[in-house]
Amino acid sequence: MKYPPVHYHDYLGLNPLLNAQHPKSTEYGKPAHDELLFIIVHQTYELWFKQILFELDSVLSTFQKPTVAESEMGIASARLERIVSILKLIIGQVDVLETMTPLDFLDFRDMLYPASGFQSYQWRLIETKLGLRIGDRLAYNQSPFYKSLSESQQGEMLNIMNQPSLHDSVEKWLERTPFLQGENFNFWDSYKEAVNKMFQDDITTVKNNPRLPDEEKAKTVAGLEQTLKSFDALFDEEAFNKLRAEGQFRLSYKAMHAALLIQLHRDQPILQTPFRIIRALLDIDETMTTWRYRHALMAMRMLGQKIGTGGSSGHKYLADATAKHKIFGDFFNLTTFFIPRSQVPPLPKAIADRMSFHY
Amino acid sequence: MKYPPVHYHDYLGLNPLLNAQHPKSTEYGKPAHDELLFIIVHQTYELWFKQILFELDSVLSTFQKPTVAESEMGIASARLERIVSILKLIIGQVDVLETMTPLDFLDFRDMLYPASGFQSYQWRLIETKLGLRIGDRLAYNQSPFYKSLSESQQGEMLNIMNQPSLHDSVEKWLERTPFLQGENFNFWDSYKEAVNKMFQDDITTVKNNPRLPDEEKAKTVAGLEQTLKSFDALFDEEAFNKLRAEGQFRLSYKAMHAALLIQLHRDQPILQTPFRIIRALLDIDETMTTWRYRHALMAMRMLGQKIGTGGSSGHKYLADATAKHKIFGDFFNLTTFFIPRSQVPPLPKAIADRMSFHY
Amino acid sequence: MKYPPVHYHDYLGLNPLLNAQHPKSTEYGKPAHDELLFIIVHQTYELWFKQILFELDSVLSTFQKPTVAESEMGIASARLERIVSILKLIIGQVDVLETMTPLDFLDFRDMLYPASGFQSYQWRLIETKLGLRIGDRLAYNQSPFYKSLSESQQGEMLNIMNQPSLHDSVEKWLERTPFLQGENFNFWDSYKEAVNKMFQDDITTVKNNPRLPDEEKAKTVAGLEQTLKSFDALFDEEAFNKLRAEGQFRLSYKAMHAALLIQLHRDQPILQTPFRIIRALLDIDETMTTWRYRHALMAMRMLGQKIGTGGSSGHKYLADATAKHKIFGDFFNLTTFFIPRSQVPPLPKAIADRMSFHY
Amino acid sequence: MKYPPVHYHDYLGLNPLLNAQHPKSTEYGKPAHDELLFIIVHQTYELWFKQILFELDSVLSTFQKPTVAESEMGIASARLERIVSILKLIIGQVDVLETMTPLDFLDFRDMLYPASGFQSYQWRLIETKLGLRIGDRLAYNQSPFYKSLSESQQGEMLNIMNQPSLHDSVEKWLERTPFLQGENFNFWDSYKEAVNKMFQDDITTVKNNPRLPDEEKAKTVAGLEQTLKSFDALFDEEAFNKLRAEGQFRLSYKAMHAALLIQLHRDQPILQTPFRIIRALLDIDETMTTWRYRHALMAMRMLGQKIGTGGSSGHKYLADATAKHKIFGDFFNLTTFFIPRSQVPPLPKAIADRMSFHY
């Protein structure tokens, strides 16, 4: 009533959409049946990439504010989870693409040279906005990745590469986490104490174990001491910063601490949604990795040892990128420093109270 | 080398594709975040529908030939299976769509009136080309389904409704199946004999069972006799045609027999691919039904008891259509007439030989 | 060190587990290859049912406490979401089961009589503990559902049927929701006002629309007035209770209001996790329905018009149960009463403050 | 009637099955909620492994016959495809397992030491029966993989390692493929000729391209010549055997040729099912690889840089095994030697005739 009537066909722009498939093999008079599938799989990828970018931009703008309102956290977490849901869907598209056999692909493969998935501007944007830095990327054909984009895209990409990524903004947000210290409470000191106590107890248990031969005792104790030592990275800011400079960590010392607090005390009302946000970021990283990996396998199947349409040694590049292109790796690393919940020092009542509601 | 170089962006028509999203809520100055998702989910549906139609047309053209070459059967079966694979993928898209909550939908729902999925020309084409007849369809808002299409689409649709569907062509192909009789072999007579023998044996077993009280004996025997009677539909052409006229069967008597032969002797080399084709048609029917059903549930969740954007009582229509819009229902019904393999009369050696290779 | 060493094989109880498959067809000397698949599909179902029950019991015990601690809400929501995740997985098992053809099933089907999925005690427990009442169930073979269970299971089931279900406990929890009124705020009055205003505005717009013919005006206005009237159910406790007695609603008047508050103001920090809990309950209902539906389709495919192993007209029962066995139907119905967010009256600042954190 | 009545509960062995879960954390008086999930995920894996082994054994026994009957090929292909279907299902189980967080795992992780998925006898059997040789395996903790099995399992495993695997049997079956030569036809010679012609044509096209600078011409020609040279491996038995001895190929020269024939002429009626079998073997390899990969990612997430329960550097081992544990790698490699269908020499009519039916 209030708005002019709308028809499904126009609303969805089906004219431009369904006329945007132009198989090269038809153009060259050698129609290859499976080229349409190839086009449509990639077009749906790009439509989903557009959606992912849209969600990502909205989450970015939330996290780039000087203070992130608690009332926006639920939305941010839902939108990140939506990205995960889309990524899981498009992993399934590989199954559809694989109904095309390598021989069917050969019917039009030469006609696409040198087009390649590496030229997907939107995928590169997703990676960049999430926080994949140029130094994190595998070199591809000896040029920086953006060289395979069109000129105007290169300009935009360089611009975006200079803006804060989601990784950067999440780091700042983590650094602002309250509760890390105050009122006779220092999260970090109390955690350090608990870790030390736990390992010392373990060492004593081993030493006092009458069934254990001396040699094995020594070996086990040495192992425990070494693991304990690895925690130093977390307890000594200088040591941490040294490792960070070497590339072992990316998040700041303070942000790591905050992330650990959120993980260990995720049941406190105020940390429930932040915990979901960290989990969604892990899921995005893991799902993107899985997507790349499925593509690497598919490329190997499609091309054997041949070179990819873009001139890359296709599946090899993808398999390597798979391992390397991690963004929120520190959230994975953090697990190394978890201790069993029974050993985690309980929060002082005053702190726990402030993490909850009062109505 | 042989072909001019191609860039990913141009090849995939990303300019028209990624500029075909025009949220109404933006146009009206009340941007609703989730409208883009709504558009993109439906656009990817339509892209996949285009692909399904493309495969369907190719299979149709194979089956519409006077004789279907054995060397085209593998391709036909692979393309039908590809359709199944696409349908399974897009069922998964419902999960993504459901990340939009009913409240988010309300932000722009009024702006879309009266657009509705019922206006999808391509989905209607898929149904029609597969063989869904207008009489099989649930009436929708008291008008024939094609009235919700644009004028030019209505013309094309009426034209296509008058052409042989895949159901029609498969029926003709089945009717041409050799081996139904010949050389002292009549598949049908021998099957009828086996069915009769099996039921008579069962009846005798029951009658001779000393543990069974007389009342139960009578009841069980009556049940067996009734089931045996239901086979008459298959053994008596006149009876069959009567039931067919009443709408209980759609395939012809001869086509039903051929389908049964293929099912029971699917391991014979010449029947292996036909068996796969029938299975793929069953899968298509079942997967389309599941897709409709997931949408009915989603609509109910999104709208409650509200009316659909197209003015339909959304989920109710979908749920009913789900049950009614079956195309290859006879392949489901056929199962009723299967008997255990151990009771199926073996093929005479001369027939089995002709169903195999000789190199 | 601290615990005795464990071997994978013993830890997982693989001896009993992998020796619990006893195909009847082998026992009777007529081995049917696909019976093992049939057994294992159902065994994995039952293992997953055990896991679902375990999560359900833990959520039940949380919600049955006189007050549900905010710090337990995150866990409850995660466990309900885990149930959804398991249900989605086992829907996928239908794909595996369908690799068995109807003919393969016939090889051993008679040997299983009258075993049937209707005898699954654990599935019945899941339904009952969630809140499916005996009156909500489709009668099956003219006896109450629990009659197909073993005697000791019947006793336990009757006992559990008399205990509060998750539906009951969630209802109580909703009724305790604060913020529905207080301090010059009455959520309900202010919502009622907004609804009235919205409809009156719509009616005025229609009446003043010069392009609209009088007849259509009248019809549209009548439609709007009728919809507005349907809201009475929500605004008039007596009217609501009358409809509830007729079975149109199951939740209490107060619980419905609370659920609406949570939906409309889900971004308030204190409502973020409750919103997730309601969503998970909707997901559980929808996923269970989908699971039943896929089974109904599969049964139709497997049996045609034959009778199920348990003597039921298999797929018919399942299809009907699918529609009827809803538990949290009111959360679906609630959508009917949503109005666009732009029309929802904003919370008074004092209320909004109390829904947030103060650290 | 014919068989004694059966109850669902007994038929499925639910007593042993549902009593086979014994969480260590309960035994030690420190119940950890998520341990049951951990047990059940692994128990369902093992049930599915049993099913996979059952299908595998049946396919093995088909392929180990001196001649494989054409009438068994449809069954063999269906059973291999069922394995793929099961593998896809259990990849989805990782999603369920990941609803357990690393912190939840820590609650009972120490109690499981040194149990580990590496001790799964059935998974090792699947790999071994498919054809993974000990030399193909990544060393794990410096001992042969079977050392982590129990003693009696080690004996059986060594025995099975000495029997022909599916890879071996498929190789023998491929070597027996007719049509590779005969009646004035030599598949290989004619393919070699086609390859040579194709590359010479390409080289001529490049050389005659006036737009191409000389330097680029030289580079491109050199590339083409090098690729052509790589085909020598396929055309020169001695060269092939040398590469095979170096581990670049595993299949025999003759089997490789047969596999190529099947791929290139898959539409010939007699090759339709063999083509499906090769595709299913590729799918099995690819899906097992994906399963391992998802586990590697999950282990990294669960453990960070910690050591796996079995004392392995968990995710690192899995990620490496992922890449290395390929069985039918030659079917992937074969793609390297495909040429576009338009260049493939057509089969002589006499040969094509013998590949078809004559009824």
Give the chain A residue nearest D275 (alpha carbons): A101
Q: Which residues of A touch D290 (CB under 8 A)?
A: 293-294, 297
Contact pairs from chain A to chain C, CB under 8 Å: 79
Dist. CA B302–CA D157, nearest whole Å: 55
> Are C336 and B107 an interchain contact pair (Cβ–Cβ within 8 Å)?
no
Tokens 């895949």 sit at which residue?
B166
Least confident of A296-310, B147-161, D164-178: A296-310
Q: Do C335 and B286 touch (CB under 8 A)?
A: no
User: What average pLDDT does range B297-316 have in this prediction?
Assistant: 67
Cβ-Cβ pairs closer than 8 A, A with D, add up to 90
- Give dist(CA A294, CA A307) in Å, integer: 18
Q: Do B359 and D73 touch (CB under 8 A)?
A: no
B301 in reach of chain C (CB within 8 A): yes
Nearest residue to D118 via CA among D302, D309, D286, D324: D309
Q: Quick one: pLDDT at residue C312?
A: 47
* Three-state SS sequence of chain B: CCCCCCCHHHHCCHHHHHCCCCCHHHHCCCCCCCHHHHHHHHHHHHHHHHHHHHHHHHHHHHHCCCCCCHHHHHHHHHHHHHHHHHHHHHHHHHHHHCCCCHHHHHHHHHHHCCCCHHHCHHHHHHHHHHCCCHHHCCCECCECHHHHCCHHHHHHHHHHHCCCCHHHHHHHHHHCCCCCEECCEEHHHHHHHHHHHHHHHHHHHHHCCCCCCHHHHHHHHHHHHHHHHHCHHHHCHHHHHHHHHCCCCCCCHHHHHHHHHHHHCCCCHHHHHHHHHHHHHHHHHHHHHHHHHHHHHHHHHHHCCCCCCCCCCHHHHHHHHHHHCCCCHHHHHHHHHCCCHHHCCCCCHHHHHHCCCCC
Return the partners of chain D (3 or more C-beta pairs < 8 Å): A, B, C
User: Into which CATH architecture does domain B22-186+230-354 fall?
Assistant: Up-down Bundle (1.20)
* CB-neighbour burial class of residue B289 (10 A; exposed 0-12, middle 13-18, buried 19+): buried
Which helix (H) or strand (E) covers residue A155, if one does? helix A151-161
The answer to whether the Cβ–Cβ distance between D209 and B1 falls below 8 Å is: yes
Q: Is the pLDDT of residue D307 over 80?
A: no
pLDDT band, residue A318 (cuts 50/70/90): low
Nearest-CA distance B174 → chain A (Å) = 26
Residue D4 φ/ψ, nearest 5 degrees: -60, 145
Query: Which residues, in sequence order, are CB contacts of B117 under 8 Å at separation 6+?
Result: A8, B42, B123, B295, B310
- Annotate C18-34 with three-state secondary structure: HCCCCCHHHHCCCCCCC
List phi, psi (to 5°) of C161. -60, -20
Which residues in chain A have Cβ-Cβ distances shorter than 8 Å to D226?
none
Mean of pLDDT over chain A = 90
- Residue set of the binding site of B for heme: 295
Instruction: Compute the average pLDDT of residues B23-28.
Output: 97
CB contact residues (below 8 A), chain B span 12-41, against chain A:
12-14, 16-22, 24, 28, 33, 36-37, 39-40
d(CA D185, CA D179): 8
Interface test with A, best of B11, B60, B146, B307 (most A CBs within 10 A): B11
Phi and psi angles of residue B143, each rounded to the nearest 5 degrees, phi first: -120, 155
Q: Which residues contact A133 (CB under 8 A, 6 or more apart)?
A: A161
Percentage of chain D lying above the pLDDT 70 cut? 93
Question: Would the CB atoms of A2 and B43 count as touching at under 8 Å?
Answer: no
Name the residue type at position C198.
M
Q: Do A9 and B112 touch (CB under 8 A)?
A: no
What pLDDT is stored for residue D257 in this prediction? Answer: 93
Peptide bond into D16 cis (omega under 30): no
Q: What is the DSSP string of A28-76?
A: TT---TTHHHHHHHHHHHHHHHHHHHHHHHHHHHHHTSSS--GGGHHHH
DSSP letter for A268, please: S
With contact defined as beta carbons under 8 Å apart, do C139 and C220 qualify?
A: no
Position C140 confidence tier, pLDDT thresholds 50, 70, 90: low
Distance spanning both ends of chain B, measured CA to CA = 43
For A179, the token pair is 């509760």
Residues in chain A within 8 Å Cβ distance of B114:
5-6
H-run or E-run covering C186: strand C185-186
Digit-coded pLDDT (tens) for B266-286: 999 999 999 999 999 999 999
Question: Options 1.10.8.10, 1.20.58.480, 1.20.1330.10, 1.10.3720.10; which CATH number does D22-186+233-338 get?
Answer: 1.20.58.480
Beta strands at D185-186 and D181-182: parallel, antiparallel or unpaired: antiparallel
Q: Are D92 and C92 in contact (CB under 8 A)?
A: yes
Q: Is D359 on the interface with B (CB under 8 A)?
A: yes
* Distance (Å, whole) CA D310 – CA D301: 17
Mean pLDDT of chain B: 90
Give buried/exposed letters for D230-254 (b at 16+ CB in 10 A, else e).
ebebbeeeeebeeebeeeebbbbbb
d(CA A112, nearest CA chain B) in Å: 6
Is D2's Cβ below 8 Å from some Cβ in B?
Answer: yes
Q: Does C279 sit within 8 Å of B301, measured CB to CB? A: no
A201 touches C at CB < 8 Å: no
List CB contacts (< 8 A) between C121 and chain D.
Answer: 9
What does the pLDDT look like over C197-239, one tens digit per residue? Answer: 999 998 998 899 888 889 988 988 998 898 898 888 889 999 9
Closest CA to B291 of B318, B316, B253: B318
**The pLDDT of residue A137:** 85
Residue of chain D whose Cα is closest to the Cα of B358: D354
The DSSP bridge pattern shows strands C181-182 and B185-186 to be: unpaired
Residue A211 reports pLDDT greater than 90: no
- Note whether C305 contacts B340, CB cutoff 8 Å: no
In Å, what is the CA distance from A49 to each residue of A11, A85, B14, B18? Answer: 20, 12, 12, 10
Alpha carbons D28 and A342: distance in angstroms, whole number: 14
The answer to whether the Cβ–Cβ distance between C107 and B342 falls below 8 Å is yes
CA–CA distance, A285 with A308 (Å, rounded to integer): 25
Tell whether A241 lies on the interface with D, counting CB pairs under 8 A. no
Tens-digit pLDDT profile for residues C24-42: 999 999 999 999 999 999 9
Nearest CA in chain D to B202: D2
Compute the average pLDDT of residues D174-197: 86
In the three-class reduction of DSSP (H, G, I as helix; E, B as strand; rest coil), residue A6 is classed as coil
Rounded to the nearest angstrom, the minimum Cα separation between C65 and chain B is: 30
Binding residues of C for heme: 295
Q: Which region among A230-234, B87-91, B105-109 has the lowest average model confidence (pLDDT)?
A: A230-234
* Domain boundaries C8-186+230-354, corresponding CATH code: 1.20.58.480
Can you tell me which residue has the tokens 């050969």? A106
Decide if A307 touches B, using CB distance below 8 A: no
Q: Do B40 and A24 touch (CB under 8 A)?
A: no
Mean pLDDT of C59-75: 94
Whole-angstrom Cα distance, residue B74 to residue D225? Answer: 36
Residues shown for chain D: 359
Among A265, A255, A268, smallest CA distance to A333 is for A255
What average pLDDT does this structure show over B306-326? 61
Q: Phi then psi for D50, rounded to 5 degrees?
A: -60, -45
| 3-class SS letters over A286-355 | HHHHHHHHHHHHHHHHHHCCCCCCCCCCHHHHHHHHHHHCCCCHHHHHHHHHCCCHHHCCCCCHHHHHHC
Query: What is the Cα Rg of chain C in Å?
Result: 25
> Phi and psi of D41, rounded to 5°?
-55, -45
* ipTM metric: 0.94
Of D47, D111, D150, the CB nearest to C44: D47
Number of C to D CB contacts under 8 A, please give it: 170
Quick: pLDDT tens for D209-258: 888 889 988 988 998 898 898 888 889 999 999 999 999 999 999 999 99
The most distant pair of C-alpha atoms in chain A lies apart, rounded to whole Å, by 86
**DSSP symbol at A163:** S
- Of the candidates D235, D240, D277, D270, the residue with the CA atom closest to the CA atom of residue D347: D270
Task: For residues A89 and A104, give the distance between their C-alpha atoms in angstroms, rounded to a whole number.
Answer: 25
Say if the Cβ atoms of D273 and B270 lie within 8 Å.
Answer: no
Token couple for C248 = 């149109």
Of B54-58, B117-121, C305-309, C353-357, minimum mean pLDDT range: C305-309
Picking from B83, B156, B80, B170, the residue whose alpha carbon sits closest to that of residue B125 is B156
| Neighboring chain A residues of D84 at a CB cutoff of 8 Å | none
Pick the CATH number of A24-186+232-354 from 2.60.40.3620, 3.40.640.10, 1.20.272.10, 1.20.58.480: 1.20.58.480
pLDDT band at B312; cut points 50, 70, 90: very low
Q: Name which of D98, D105, D305 to mutate to probe chain A: the one with the most chain A Cβ atoms within 10 A of its Cβ.
A: D305
Average pLDDT score over chain D: 90
What's the pTM value of the predicted model, to 2 decimals? Answer: 0.95
Chain B contact set for A58 (CB, 8 A): 33
What 3-state DSSP class applies to D4? coil
Give me the residue from B101, B282, B303 closest to C301, CB to CB: B282
d(CA D205, CA D208): 5
> Are A13 and B20 inside 8 Å of each other by CB?
yes
Any CB–CB contact under 8 A between C115 and chain D? yes
Contacts of residue B134, defined as CB under 8 A and 6 or more positions apart, other chains included, come to: B144, B145, B161
